[in-house]
């Protein structure tokens, strides 16, 4: 399971989860692309669920700028989600069954997207 703060910091760099190399590569590319733009206008940002909990549902949400190659980014998200679902199935992984709260929008703080729940 990946720890998420459900804000702009969607990666726990202090306690990274060790996944197979193919998952790590996709995850790293997905996060790098999502963080490649500075957030100055929240109207230019979208969010999407990603990952697959063992008991169902996404592990969290990730923000991305409309300025990036959105099709490519969403393909990375889909690929990571599929790889994680397969990993969970193959390893018999377990997770909590809590639903990740869905942000309603993105705001910009200090150049980074922040999720708003309202």
Predicted confidence band of residue 18 (pLDDT cuts 50, 70, 90)? low
Does residue 50 have a pLDDT over 50? yes
Q: Quick one: pLDDT at residue 12?
A: 45
Cβ atoms 106, 115 nearer than 8 A: yes
Cross-strand pairs, 12: none
pTM of the model: 0.81
Query: Token digits for 43?
Result: 């109207």
Q: Is the pLDDT of residue 36 over 90?
A: yes
pLDDT confidence of residue 17: 56
Question: How far is residue 47's CA from residue 20's CA, in Å, rounded to a whole number?
Answer: 26
Please state, as a whole number, how many other Cβ atoms lie within 10 Å of the Cβ of residue 109.
11
pLDDT at 28: 95
Nearest-angstrom CA–CA distance, 80 and 103: 20
pLDDT value at 14 more than 80: no
How many Å separate Cα 8 from the centre of its chain?
10
Question: For residue 20, what pLDDT is reported?
Answer: 83
Identify the band that residue 8 occupies on the pLDDT scale cut at 50, 70 and 90. Answer: very low
Q: What is the DSSP string of 70-81?
A: HHHHHHHHHHHH
Q: pLDDT (tens digit, 9 = 90+) per residue, 82-107?
A: 999 999 999 898 888 898 899 999 99
């Amino acid at each position: 399971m990946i720890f998420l703060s459900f804000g702009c910091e969607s990666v726990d760099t202090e306690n990274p989860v060790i996944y197979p190399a193919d998952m790590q590569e996709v995850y790293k590319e997905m996060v790098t692309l999502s963080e490649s733009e500075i957030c100055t206008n929240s109207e230019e940002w979208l969010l999407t669920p990603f990952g697959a909990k063992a008991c169902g549902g996404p592990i969290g949400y990730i923000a991305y700028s409309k300025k990036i190659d959105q099709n490519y980014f969403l393909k990375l998200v889909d690929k990571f989600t599929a790889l994680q679902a397969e990993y969970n199935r193959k390893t018999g992984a377990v997770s909590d069954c809590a639903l990740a709260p869905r942000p309603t929008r993105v705001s910009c703080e200090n150049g980074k997207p922040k999720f708003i729940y309202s």
